[in-house]
Amino acid sequence: MAVGEPAGLRTLLIDDNPDDRELVKRELRRAFSNLETEEILDAHGFMEALRAYPPDLAITDYQLGWTNGLAVLDAIKDRFPECTVVMFTGTGSEEIAVTALKAGLDDYLLKAPGHCARLPTAVRLGLEHSKPR
C-alpha cells in the first residue's frame, strides 16, 4: 500500500461495457494496491450496492442501458455526499459535464486515447478533496 493510500478503497464501477470496466480496473490497479471493486451492471445491482456499504469512490459512464450518469451521481451524492465520483464516458457533452460538476462530480473524463491514463490522478485528487477536514 502506498503512503497516504487508504486501506481498502471501496469502489463502485458503474459501466455496462465489460471492456471499459476492464480498462478502468487495469488503470486503477496500477495506482492503487488496495482497490476493492464492485462492478455495477444494472439498476438492481446499483440499488443493492447503495444499501450495502458506503463506497469511497464511484466511477460511472454517462450513457447506461438503464439510466444515465447524472442520475447515478445524484443517487450516490444523496446517500453518500463524501463519496468521490468520476464520470468516465464516451458520450455526453460539455453541457452534461458542467451540469455534473455543479452537482458534485469530482471529474469528467472522456473515453479517448490517452485519457484513461488520467483516471488515477482524477481519483487521487477527488479522494483528497473529499477527505473530512
Task: List, for residues 63-94, the tens digit of each pLDDT value.
Answer: 999 999 999 999 999 999 999 999 999 887 89
pLDDT tens-digit readout, 97-128: 999 999 999 999 998 877 788 999 999 999 99
Residues 6+ apart with CB under 8 A from 16: 41, 42, 61, 64, 65, 66
Superfamily (CATH H level) for 22-130: Response regulator (3.40.50.2300)
Q: Which long-range contacts (CB under 8 A, 24 or more apart) does 94-99 make?
A: 96/62, 96/69, 96/70, 99/70
- Give residue 131's pLDDT: 65
- Is the model's pTM score more than 0.75? yes
Encode pLDDT of 7-21 as tens digits: 689 999 999 999 999
- Reported as type and span, the H/E element at residue 128 is helix 119-130
Beta bridge partners of 39: 13
